Amino acid sequence: MQNPARLSLTRDRPTLSGMNAEQILGPGQQHESIARMIGLWVAQETFAPSLRSGSGKRSGRLECQSICNGLFVVGNYAQMGGRNEVTYSGLGVFGVDPTTQEVTWYWFDSLGGMPYSPARGGWNGDTLVLVGRDEHGRPNRHYTFAFEGYDRLRFVIEDAADDGLTWHTFMDARCLKTAP
């Protein structure tokens, strides 16, 4: 299958399906929207019982910054245990697909988690909803980032065990931005 959005290099500038370099490489409105993640966030997290994690409450810390001239936001996450030790860590990269204008999110973690493809989605008002898919393209994870003003965020992860027909909350986190 041929990718309809092919990058070609010309003598003047790279193009992507007829767009000029500024349209490809410069941050747009979607990039400005993911910039809301920039800052230091502290979270109180509630987990449902699962095979991956015991149920209960935990605390986390996410530090996000803009990279590559505003085209991406990278976030370093650490979950803290009872003695203030890191019990789980991860790295997320938010971006924007230049062809579809969907927000994308890659997540890598200390359990070896690596996505088959980025979670994808978009904004509904102040809420960003992304859908992760398994290796067969079936939806298996919902990520909801609901902003409540500038400095509050509710982050919910939902899992599906039946090809996306029934969803169960895995984690519900209340986050507070403590530094820009």
pLDDT in tens, 5-16: 443 333 344 445
Sequence ranges of the domains in the chain: 27-179
Q: Is the pLDDT of residue 53 over 70?
A: no
How much is the average pLDDT of 134-140?
88
Q: Say which CATH topology domain 27-179 has.
A: Lipocalin (2.40.128)
CA distance 56 to 15: 50
CA distance 132 to 141: 5
- Map tokens 């085209």 to a residue: 71
- Map tokens 């015991």 to a residue: 54
Measured in whole angstroms, how far is the alpha carbon of residue 126 from the centre of its chain?
15
Q: Is the pLDDT of residue 164 over 80?
A: no
From the list 91, 30, 64, the residue with the least C-alpha distance to 180 is 64
The sign of the dihedral angle between the CA atoms of 117, 123, 124, 129 is positive
How much is the average pLDDT of 63-87?
93
What pLDDT sits at residue 56? 86
Residue that wins the pLDDT comparison between 12 and 141: 141
How much is the average pLDDT of 13-40?
74
pLDDT category of residue 2 using cuts at 50, 70 and 90: very low
Q: Is the pLDDT of residue 141 over 90?
A: yes
How much is the average pLDDT of 36-61?
88
How much is the average pLDDT of 44-72?
88
How much is the average pLDDT of 87-97?
96
From the list 129, 122, 117, the residue with the least C-alpha distance to 156 is 129
What pLDDT sits at residue 14? 44
Residue that wins the pLDDT comparison between 26 and 147: 147
What pLDDT sits at residue 24? 58
